[in-house]
Structure 1
Amino acid sequence: MSEDRTPVLTGGCQCGAVRYALYAPPEDVHICHCRMCQKAVGGPFAPLAPVRKGDFQWTRGSPGAFRSSTIAERHFCRDCGTPLTFHYVNSDWIDVTIGSLDAPEEAPPANQYGIEGRLSWFAGLHALPGEETSLPAAQKRRIASFQHPDHDTPPDWRPPQTATEMP
C-alpha cells in the first residue's frame, strides 16, 4: 500500500504490538454467531467489519495466524492474544474485529450471520440491569493500565511497565 494514503479507520491489539489501517469504509458490517467465531473471540459472537484486502494494511508488527478451517484464517496478536481479523483464504476481503478498531462506534453492525449458533439468551441482553464502570478516584489512581491508547502512536511506543511510568 502507498504510504501517502489516509486511513479511514485504524485499529490494533490491546498491547499495541500489532496495528492496522483501513483505507476504505467497511462494508456489510455484521456479527457472526457461528460456534467457530464464538470460540475465536471468546464471546457469544464475533463483531466483524469487512474491507477489501487492497484497502487493508498492517502498519505495526506482525500478527500470528490460525487456520481455523480449510477455508478460513484468523489473525491475532502473539503478545496479548487480541483477535484481529477473519478472512476466507481465497477471498479478496478481510474482516477486522470491531472491538480492535480505535473507533468501534464507527462500524455499527447491519446484519447477523450464523444465527443457528446464536445463544438463546442473546435477545434478552437489553433487558438485563446495567451500570457504568465507575471506581472511586482513590482506587482509579492505584490502577495502572498497560493497554495501547485508541489512536496510532510513534513506532517506538511501548506500554508503561509500572504505575510510576504512567503519564
Structure 2
Amino acid sequence: MMPQNPTFPTARGGCQCGAIRFTVSEGPAKAGLCHCRMCQRATGNAFAPLFEVPGARVEWQGETPREWASSNISVRGFCPTCGTPLYLRTGDTIEIMAGCFAPDFPYQPCDQGGIEAKVGWLDQLSHLPAHDTYPDLIAQVVSNQAPEERG
C-alpha cells in the first residue's frame, strides 16, 4: 500500500494555452481522486484527479489564475484565456488537477473520495477495448496547445 503523503519531486505544469505555468516545490503531498458531484461538474468529467499541497509550495508564472467560489469554503482556479481547470483551493491548501502536470510527473492516487457519486461505468474501463489515438486523425491535427512542460 502506498503511504498517504509520500514525498514528491519538484513538479511543473500549466494550462493548455501556456498563459499560466506553475512549479510545486518538492515535499509531501497527497494524490487522490474525487468522485463528488461538485468535482464532476467543475471538471466536466467523471472524477477529478487531484494533487494536494500547501498553497505556499506553489509558485505561479504568467497570468494570474481566475477564481470562482464553488462553495462557501472553496474556490476553483482556472485559466481566463483557455478555460483549463487548474485547482481547488480551500484555505491554505491547493489541490491541483493532475492533468495539468508535465507528463513525466509521478502522480499515483492513494485514495478516492466522494465515492457516493462515483459513476458506475468507471468499473468497466479495464474491460473495454483500448487503442492509440487514430493515426488518420492525428495526421490532421494542428495543436494550439502550448508545448508540454518537463519535470
Name the residue aligned to 1:164: none
How much has 1:134 moved relative to structure 2? 3.4
Matched, 1:99 2:99: yes
Name the residue aligned to 2:142: 144
Name the residue aligned to 1:125: 125
* Structure with more of its chain in strand, by fraction: 2
Residues 20/105 of structure 1: CA separation in 2 closer, same or farther (3 Å cut): closer
Residues 57/105 of structure 1: CA separation in 2 closer, same or farther (3 Å cut): closer
TM-score (norm: length of structure 1): 0.79
Structure 2 matches for 1:69-84, cutoff 5 A? 69-84=71-86
Residues 26/132 of structure 1: CA separation in 2 closer, same or farther (3 Å cut): farther
The structure having more radius of gyration, on CA atoms, is: 1
Query: Does structure 2 conserve the Cα–Cα contact (< 8 Å) formed by 1:18 and 1:77?
Result: yes
Matched, 1:44 2:42: no
Q: Deviations over 1:116-140 (max 9, x none)?
A: 0101111111111111113149x62
Question: Aligned with 1:29: secondary structure?
Answer: strand
Name the residue aligned to 1:17: 19
- Structural RMSD (CA): 1.9
- Paired letter, 2:96: V
How much has 1:107 moved relative to structure 2? 1.1
Question: Aligned with 1:147: secondary structure?
Answer: coil
Residues 36/19 of structure 1: CA separation in 2 closer, same or farther (3 Å cut): same
How much has 1:54 moved relative to structure 2? 1.3
Give the aligned length.
142
Residues 83/104 of structure 1: CA separation in 2 closer, same or farther (3 Å cut): farther
How much has 1:104 moved relative to structure 2? 5.9
Name the residue aligned to 1:159: none
Q: Deviations over 1:30-85 (max 9, x none)?
A: 01000000011100000000111111111121111110000010100111111001
Runs (4+) of structure 1 exceeding 4 A deviation are none
Aligned-residue sequence identity (percent) comes to 37
**Which 5+ residue runs of structure 2 have no aligned equivalent?**
1-8
- Paired letter, 1:120: G
Question: Aligned with 2:23: secondary structure?
Answer: strand
Distance (Å, rounded) in 2 between the aligned partners of 1:128 and 1:64: 37
